[in-house]
């Protein structure tokens, strides 16, 4: 099993979150606000939040490794 860096994980989570945002925008423009659109927005929020946390952790970790 290979290990993936926090920066790579953060970028992947952010990209997946952007994909969910794109899907939510398309869903709202076609059908309006539905339960599933809200669910997609919730998933996008969680993914982008996780991506930001992973990226912030990466830079904190790099800063601590220099000391």
CA distance 12 to 65: 23
Based on the structure, what is the number of domains in the chain? 1
pLDDT of residue 67: 72
pLDDT of residue 23: 96
Evaluate whether residue 28 is within a structural domain. Answer: yes
> Confidence band (pLDDT; 50, 70, 90) for 26?
very high
pLDDT of residue 2: 72
Tens digit of pLDDT for each residue in 33-45? 999 999 999 999 9
Evaluate whether residue 61 is within a structural domain. Answer: yes
In this structure, are residues 40 and 23 in contact, taking their beta carbons and an 8 Å threshold? Answer: yes
The tokens 């601590």 sit on which residue?
64
Evaluate whether residue 3 is within a structural domain. Answer: no
pLDDT of residue 1: 66
Evaluate whether residue 54 is within a structural domain. Answer: yes
Average the pLDDT over 6-18 and give the result.
96
Domain with 59, as residue range(s), is: 24-67
């Amino acid at each position: 099993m290979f290990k993936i860096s926090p920066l790579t994980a953060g970028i992947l989570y952010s990209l997946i979150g952007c994909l969910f945002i794109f899907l939510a925008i398309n869903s709202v423009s076609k059908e309006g606000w539905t339960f599933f659109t809200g669910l997609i927005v919730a998933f996008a929020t969680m993914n982008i939040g996780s991506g930001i946390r992973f990226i912030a952790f990466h830079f904190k970790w790099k800063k601590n490794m220099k000391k």
